[in-house]
Amino acid sequence: MSFEAEKVIQSVLEFYYSSGIISSKSDTISVKVEGSNSFIGNRQHYEQILFFVFGHLLPEFITPVIRVSSQINPLALLKTSFLLPGTSGAARDQLMTTIEEDRRLKKLLKLAGAETTIVEDEGQAVVVLFPVESVLQLGSEPVVNVSELKTRYDSKEIALTLLEGFVMNSRRHLTLLINAISKDDWQEAHRHAHALKGGALNVCAEAIVQRAKSIEIAIKDQHYDILKQAIQALETACSDLESTWSDYREELNG
């Protein structure tokens, strides 16, 4: 799963909120993918919603699509190849609120990023397409956000100690995670994914946080079919960290 794609989808969901399509943080978001159960969660469950989306779509190589409509309930527009997030129940009236067409298009383009996005205006609705190849690509951002790490702790020595320790230990957790998965030891696998996520959080390695978290959720929800792909993405991020961490060390020291 691409971190970039996650950010884009999250931004689109944020767009729902800022545009008034979803009225408050307590509103629910429903996601329906053809041939699977619906996921309904509130806006604080972005990660689970995103996981649900990608977990179902990626193995089948169907281009993920988000349909945003300002005039009609997207849930009423279920179509085979479309992913249709929307609201339900009492919030349905909010979907009737019209927003300015120009504002909506402009914002979607900005949020989604021009390079990997095709936007088609279908009159009442805007369809944003994310080509699968883009979704599978790794994000281009550095694994560690050094400027954030610099401000996180009282001293650079603490940041350096934690970063060095994480680099030294992440490969061990990754290896044990893969071993545990190969033995169907899900409790152990979950623990190592969790440890990687926690360590990555402490050193501002967001790319690893997101990938480890996807695995953690996949194990918890028994979506084992996506693990191979998710592990590959995590392994790439960990390798990237190992090969570049001396640069981060210099940057922290400087």
Partner 1 sequence: MASFQVLYAEDEFTNRKLIEIQLSKSGISCDVASDGLQAYQKLEENSYEVVILDQYMPGLNGDQLARKILAKYPDLPLIAITSDDGEIDKLRSAGFREIFIKPLRTTAYIDILRQYLKT
- 42's tokens: 């509130």
Shortest distance, position 252 Cβ to partner 1, whole Å: 15
DSSP states along 26-70: T-EEEE--TTS--EEEEGGGHHHHHHHHHHHHGGGTPPPEEEEES
Shortest distance, position 251 Cβ to partner 1, whole Å: 18
Residues 31, 38: Cα–Cα separation, whole Å: 6
Minimum CB distance to partner 1 smaller for 194 or for 223: 194
Q: Measuring CA to CA, how many Å separate 200 from each of 174, 210, 215?
A: 12, 9, 14
Minimum CB distance to partner 1 smaller for 108 or for 215: 215
Q: How many angstroms from the chain centroid is the CA of residue 134?
A: 13
Q: Measuring CA to CA, how many Å separate 84 from each of 39, 66, 125, 135, 172?
A: 11, 6, 12, 18, 40
Minimum CB distance to partner 1 smaller for 5 or for 238: 238
Minimum CB distance to partner 1 smaller for 100 or for 148: 148
Shortest distance, position 49 Cβ to partner 1, whole Å: 17
Shortest distance, position 195 Cβ to partner 1, whole Å: 4
Shortest distance, position 68 Cβ to partner 1, whole Å: 31
What values do phi and psi take at 233, rounded to 5? -65, -40
Minimum CB distance to partner 1 smaller for 127 or for 201: 201
Residues that bind partner 1 (CB under 8 A): 154, 158, 161-162, 165-166, 168-169, 173, 188, 190-191, 194-195, 197-199, 201-203
